[in-house]
A and B are shown apart, each in its own frame.
Chain A
Amino acid sequence: MLKLAPLATASPASAMELSPFSKSGQGLLRPLSNLLYQRKGLTLALLLAPPLLWFGVVYLGSLLMLLGQSALTFDEMAMSVTAELTSANFVALLVPANLDIVLRTLAMAVAVTLGCVAIGFPMAYYMAHYAKPAEKGFFFVAVMLPMWASYIVKAYAWTVLLAKGGVIYWGLEQLHLLGVLHAVLGLPAVGGETLATSNLGRFLVFTYIWLPFMVLPIQAAIERVPSNLLFASSDLGATPFQTFRKILWPLAFPGVVAGSIFTFSLTLGDYIIPQLVGPSGLYIGSMVYTLQGTIGNIPMAAAFTCVPIVLITIYLAIARRLGAFNAL
């Protein structure tokens, strides 16, 4: 060891003569390079400083500030925030009207997640196991394009499609299925006056918009399931359904959970779609928006934001245990 040490420090210097890079390494840059190479900790600190400053100050700073405000008092008479600590905002979350908003949003988030799994899983399975290479590429692009396409354009497209006199009503009329639609819209909790003002319409739009976020993680997870396992299962006499239930589903489940992080979290926080499509009841997102906007009650809005933060933190903790992070 001792003998090697001087050799190791000497070798870069002697190699410099032969090196094609030697010219660029001279001057002030060389000492800097050496410093960076020897002091890994310093390099790391230099690399981390800008993003740490940005995220630590701008992002976490404002997040903590927001959470802090949730414990402040909002004076309804003066319409202003006073620096008195209180738990009233969190207590107010449990008022039936507010609890209703939370549960309604949660129910939609769960429904949308299940809807996305139901449509997304077959797509992902086909992509991963049955599509030919070119077809797989086509599917990948075809799922990715709508995923990255503008959120508001997609939402807007649905307001146009769902409108009375729009494409969907026209299509159902051509198929003589308007009666079926009215029957469905007559159902409690699902239906409403028209498609555009029903929970069914809202569910459709949410499912549409978040679907790609579900397909791609599941596809990645199924891709890692060796086909041998599926063949072995059917060789051993399992029906396709048994193979699915006992082999494919458990192995692909982390991917499903990974996808559900997006569908769940995005639905929970959205406030544009509930405003555009569906019945008039508020969602967590629209409540936060209303509270901070017209009234300026940031403390209560902050308390409301804690609901998705807490729910998603719990969700992420469970997802991590289920191995979903490796499937992302």
Chain B
Amino acid sequence: MRFNGVSALRVAAYGGLAFLHLPLLFIALYAFNSNESGYTFPLDGLTLKWFARALERSDIREAIGLSLSVATMATLLAMVLGTCTAAALNRDRFFGKDAFTTMLILPIALPGIVTGIALLAAFKLMDVTPGFWTIVVGHATFCVVIVHNNVVARLRRLPARFIEASMDLGADTLTTLRYIVLPQLSTALMAGGILAFALSVDELIVTTFTSGSEKTLPIWLLNQLSRPREVAVTNVVALGVMLITMPLILVAWRLTRDGDANPNNR
């Protein structure tokens, strides 16, 4: 009886995993589909020609370029702001701490459409033309909490005795910060940055409101859905997006995990 229960659970768990992964595997497979229509199954045959076509198209290259530069800018901003918030909130209680925490998670707790339209309405009111910088502002806003979460988790595990020892040895606040705190934070900060970058590359909902006529990679993909042009190429780009972000996520995971496994942190 008990054994049966466990195997049923195992089947359910692996079934759930299959549900999570099969659609992604199929999209990867479709990128090699020799048929032009892009969705029929079974596939007619396998080909690499759509990869060549995707590389030739300037609209795709521009979308990739824009996505990467927006993500870089937003990540840098989020890393600075997220480190500040983590350092501040890791300290003792202060007036408005709860309110501040709430404000920080608001951009991801509220649906993206709320953030998107709020920013758009504000930009319109201030006569700001949507473009590169408005996208960056939108992305940075919800990336801060990603960096914050990573850094604050590491700060909480950073033993006070490290800092005390440094101070006992005569180091001042800034020296301790530079030689003790920042090195201990570096992997967490990097992981947060990488995740923020990956999130920014993928973000669609806020971007549709703040991008104006600019096309990031996700917006390009969305446009392909309503006005398809070479469906087979879209499959290649979809695979490409996954190939950009998946390794980043794995690296970020390794970084936080190694940091947690570090016995010095306990």
| CA distance in complex: A164, B130 (Å) | 38
Selecting from B44-52, B54-62, B104-112, B181-189, the interface stretch reads B104-112
Whether A228 is near chain B, meaning CB under 8 Å from some CB there, is: no
Is A29 within 8 A of B174, CB to CB? yes
Kindly provide the distance from the CB of B136 to the nearest chain A CB, expressed in whole angstroms. 11
Is B24 within 8 A of A157, CB to CB? yes
Partner of B109, one of A165, A212, A261: A261
Is B114 within 8 A of A292, CB to CB? no
Report B202-248 residues with CB < 8 Å from chain A CB. 202-205, 208-209, 218, 221-222, 224-225, 234-235, 238, 241-242, 245-246
Whether A327 is near chain B, meaning CB under 8 Å from some CB there, is: no
Is B19 within 8 A of A305, CB to CB? no
Is B111 within 8 A of A63, CB to CB? no
With A127-B13, A149-B246 as contacts: A309 and B110 at CB distance below 8 Å: yes
Is A65 within 8 A of B118, CB to CB? yes
Is A146 within 8 A of B21, CB to CB? yes
With A33-B175, A152-B222, A165-B39 as contacts: A120 and B242 at CB distance below 8 Å: no
Chain B residues near A208 (CB-CB < 8 A) = 19-20, 23
Partner of A58, one of B10, B137, B171, B238: B137
Whether B26 is near chain A, meaning CB under 8 Å from some CB there, is: yes
Partner of B111, one of A144, A166, A169, A265: A265
| CA distance in complex: A47, B181 (Å) | 15
Is A51 within 8 A of B41, CB to CB? no
| CA distance in complex: A52, B97 (Å) | 12
**CB-CB contacts of B84-100 with A at 8 A, as 1s and 0s?**
11011001001000001
Selecting from A95-103, A182-190, A249-257, A270-278, the interface stretch reads A270-278
Is B111 within 8 A of A308, CB to CB? yes
With A119-B16, A316-B109 as contacts: A65 and B125 at CB distance below 8 Å: yes
Whether A61 is near chain B, meaning CB under 8 Å from some CB there, is: yes
| CA distance in complex: A159, B21 (Å) | 15
Kindly provide the distance from the CB of B119 to the nearest chain A CB, expressed in whole angstroms. 5
Report A270-304 residues with CB < 8 Å from chain B CB. 270-272, 276, 285, 288-289, 292, 298, 301-302
| CA distance in complex: A22, B242 (Å) | 49
Is A51 within 8 A of B84, CB to CB? yes
Whether A211 is near chain B, meaning CB under 8 Å from some CB there, is: yes
Closest to B104 in A: A55
Chain A residues near B19 (CB-CB < 8 A) = 119, 208, 211
**CB-CB contacts of A29-73 with B at 8 A, as 1s and 0s?**
110111011001000100110111011101111110110010000
Whether A78 is near chain B, meaning CB under 8 Å from some CB there, is: no
With A33-B174, A51-B84, A208-B19 as contacts: A160 and B38 at CB distance below 8 Å: yes
Whether B179 is near chain A, meaning CB under 8 Å from some CB there, is: yes
Is A211 within 8 A of B20, CB to CB? yes
Give the interface SS of chain A, mostly helix, strand, loop or mixed: helix
Q: How many A-B residue pairs have CB under 8 A?
A: 282
Is B80 within 8 A of A123, CB to CB? no
Kindly provide the distance from the CB of A184 to the nearest chain B CB, expressed in whole angstroms. 18
For the complex, count residues of B whose C-beta is within 8 A of A. Answer: 94
Partner of A143, one of B20, B87, B222: B20
Is A269 within 8 A of B110, CB to CB? yes
Is A312 within 8 A of B222, CB to CB? no
Kindly provide the distance from the CB of B138 to the nearest chain A CB, expressed in whole angstroms. 9
Is A69 within 8 A of B113, CB to CB? no
Is B20 within 8 A of A240, CB to CB? no
Closest to B9 in A: A126
| CA distance in complex: A122, B234 (Å) | 35
Is A142 within 8 A of B17, CB to CB? yes
| CA distance in complex: A163, B30 (Å) | 13
Is A123 within 8 A of B114, CB to CB? no
Is B27 within 8 A of A157, CB to CB? yes
Is B41 within 8 A of A141, CB to CB? no
Kindly provide the distance from the CB of A245 to the nearest chain B CB, expressed in whole angstroms. 14
**CB-CB contacts of A309-323 with B at 8 A, as 1s and 0s?**
100100010000000
**CB-CB contacts of A218-238 with B at 8 A, as 1s and 0s?**
000000000000000000000
Whether B76 is near chain A, meaning CB under 8 Å from some CB there, is: no
Is A69 within 8 A of B121, CB to CB? yes
| CA distance in complex: A301, B221 (Å) | 25
Q: Identify the interface centre among B16, B199, B242: most chain A CB within 10 Å of its CB.
A: B16
| CA distance in complex: A34, B176 (Å) | 12
Closest to B30 in A: A160
Chain A residues near B218 (CB-CB < 8 A) = 150-152
Q: Identify the interface centre among B169, B172, B205: most chain A CB within 10 Å of its CB.
A: B172
**CB-CB contacts of B1-14 with A at 8 A, as 1s and 0s?**
11001100110110
With A51-B81, A63-B118, A157-B238 as contacts: A305 and B113 at CB distance below 8 Å: yes
Is B170 within 8 A of A144, CB to CB? no
Partner of B202, one of A16, A151, A160, A215: A151
| CA distance in complex: A24, B245 (Å) | 40
Partner of B20, one of A56, A146, A261: A146
Which 5 pairs show the lowest CB-CB distances between chains A and B? Answer: A269-B111, A19-B170, A62-B122, A33-B172, A126-B13
A–B Cβ pairs within 8 angstroms, 12 of them? A25-B172, A37-B173, A48-B88, A54-B141, A62-B121, A142-B21, A148-B246, A149-B245, A150-B238, A269-B112, A305-B114, A316-B109
Given A139-B17, A163-B39, A165-B41, 5 additional A-B pairs, CB 8 A: A130-B10, A149-B24, A271-B205, A288-B117, A292-B117
